[in-house]
Amino acid sequence: MNAMRRAAILKMNAMRRAVSHLSSSELVARFQRACGLFPVAREKLNGHAGNHGEEERIRNGTARGQRKHHDEHESSYSTAKYEVRNWPLYFLFVVSATLGNEVFYISFLPFIHWNLDPFLCRRLVNIWAVVMYIGQVTKDVLKLPRPTAPPVVKLEVRVDAEYGLPSTHAMAATAISFTLLLSAPERVQFQFEVGLVLAVVLSGLVCLSRLYTGMHSALDVICGILISAVILGISYPHWNTLDSLQLNSPLSPVVALVLPLYLCYKYPELDHYSTTREDTTIIMGVAAGCSVGYWANQQLGLTFEPEGPFPVTLGPLTARTVTLCAARFCVGLVLLVLTRQTARWASLRLLCRNYGVALGDVEAHKRKEIEVPYKFSTYSAIGLVNSVVVCRAFMLLGLL
């Protein structure tokens, strides 16, 4: 019995050491140095003015992190200078990091809808919303810090005020890559092995980019991957059933709007402002608007999906095809930008008037009673236009 207890204690100690190692900032710093990203020593900075060769290689990277605790109300900022000694890896990981940002989502997901198959876009948006909500809430419940600088060099500023575990970049990259891989075979003919390699490479690059940019520990990234894998594993057998309910149930539009909005209002409260609630509300709003739009298309009998039998064979990539894709993307993007500006203008003015807040009071816009309905209404309008209006505009312009 004592031997069993000793073995259990040894295992627990080994697990604690492993967790401590994976969550350490020094491990992230070693990865950065192995990839050619180094902090610049103070004495090197002092002598930097007279060295023109070094001046071309050294860039300023500012990482400002805000942490407010329960017993104090102050901001702590850290700044770091960094030197890049491997430019190919620098550009590879910086570009890979953008694959988990808003710019990627608002371009890639609509592109799939407008140029490939709305079915695939619907699957991706649904999983993306679930994964991101769980990830963002987990961050603000656990409240585990990001890697510290020094020794880590931080290349991003905006999200440094957020907590670390899990990495939502890793979660989203894993979920989107493998949801597309698992959904595409029933719609499009392609070589599965090639798709698998692409899914692993793309999601892997995004995950490694979070270490390279100094925004997450190895533990944050690993937990993000595992959480997404569990969500995909649990939900995958039910995807077809959920599709049918989303498209055909008379309650679908009500649930699609009420449930995400309720979850946004119930988002965990923090003792300092963080962009996590704002970002989560944006994602949930887009998903809600898209869901209502897909249901409306189904009821109207015009879904803009490819005609079967499935899986369909993709046509050759000709100059005409590329031109049509580019034209659709440009027209669609213009409509989404116009929708965003219009909905943003109207919703913010109505809410500020209702709560007696000055339109230019940015701090007041961060209050939950303003931020949540403002962001949710704006981005649900974008989702609705994306799924309903844009393709009808393509029909009028002869782009389908």
**pLDDT tens by residue, 343-368:** 999 999 999 888 888 888 888 888 88
Strand intervals (E) in the chain: 37-39, 58-63, 78-84
Average pLDDT in the 334-347 region? 92
Among 51-60, 309-318, 384-393, name the most confident range: 384-393
Contact 254, 117 (CB under 8 A): no
Rounded CA-CA distance 173/93 in Å is 14
Listed range (35-39, 98-102, 174-178) with the worst mean pLDDT: 98-102
Lowest mean pLDDT among 137-146, 205-214, 311-320, 346-355: 311-320
Structure tokens at 206: 């995004």
pLDDT at 304: 86
- What tokens were used for 285? 């709003």
Q: What is the pLDDT of residue 82?
A: 81
d(C-alpha 330, C-alpha 335), whole Å: 9
Q: Which residues contact 389 (CB under 8 A, 6 or more apart)?
A: 335
> What does the block give as tokens for 132?
């991101």
Residue 37 above 70 pLDDT?
yes
Task: Please state the φ and ψ torsions of residue 64, each to the nearest 5 degrees.
Answer: -110, 120
Decide if pLDDT at 46 tops 70.
Answer: no
Question: Who has greater pLDDT, 331 or 44?
Answer: 331
Give residue 400's pLDDT band: very low, low, confident or very high (50, 70, 90): confident
Confidence at residue 61, expressed as pLDDT on a 0 to 100 scale = 43
What whole-number distance in Å separates Cα of residue 197 and Cα of residue 199?
5
Q: What is the DSSP letter of 251?
A: T
Number of Cβ within 10 Å of residue 251's Cβ equals 10
Phi, psi dihedrals of residue 58, rounded to the nearest 5°: -100, 130
Strand 37-39 with 78-84, pairing: antiparallel
Q: What stretch of H or E contains 301?
A: none
Average pLDDT over residues 377-384: 93
- Mean per-residue pLDDT over the chain, rounded: 84
* Helix 239-248, helix 276-300: angle, nearest 10: 70
191 CB-contact burial (10 Å; exposed 0-12 / middle 13-18 / buried 19+): exposed
Confidence of residue 9 (pLDDT cuts 50, 70, 90): confident
pLDDT of residue 42: 56
356 three-state secondary structure: coil
Above pLDDT 90, what percent of the chain?
A: 45
Supply the pLDDT for residue 69.
36
Annotated catalytic sites, by residue?
169, 216
Q: Of 60-74, 86-100, 166-180, 341-355, which range is least confident?
A: 60-74
46 residue type, one letter: N
CB atoms < 10 A from the CB of 39, how many?
19
Strongest mean pLDDT among 13-22, 41-50, 269-278, 288-297: 288-297
- Could you tell me the pLDDT band of residue 41, with boundaries at 50, 70 and 90? low
**Domain regions of the chain by residue span:** 93-397
Give this prediction's pTM.
Answer: 0.84
Structure confidence at residue 295 as a pLDDT band (50, 70, 90): very high
Dist. CA 149–CA 26, nearest whole Å: 10
Kindly state the average pLDDT of the residues 150-166: 79
Q: What is the dihedral of CA 377, 380, 249, 130, to 10 degrees?
A: -110
Task: Look up residue 69 and give its DSSP letter.
Answer: -
Tell me, what amino acid is at 122? R
Amino acid at 139: K
Under a CB-based contact definition with an 8 Å cutoff, are residues 149 and 76 in contact?
no
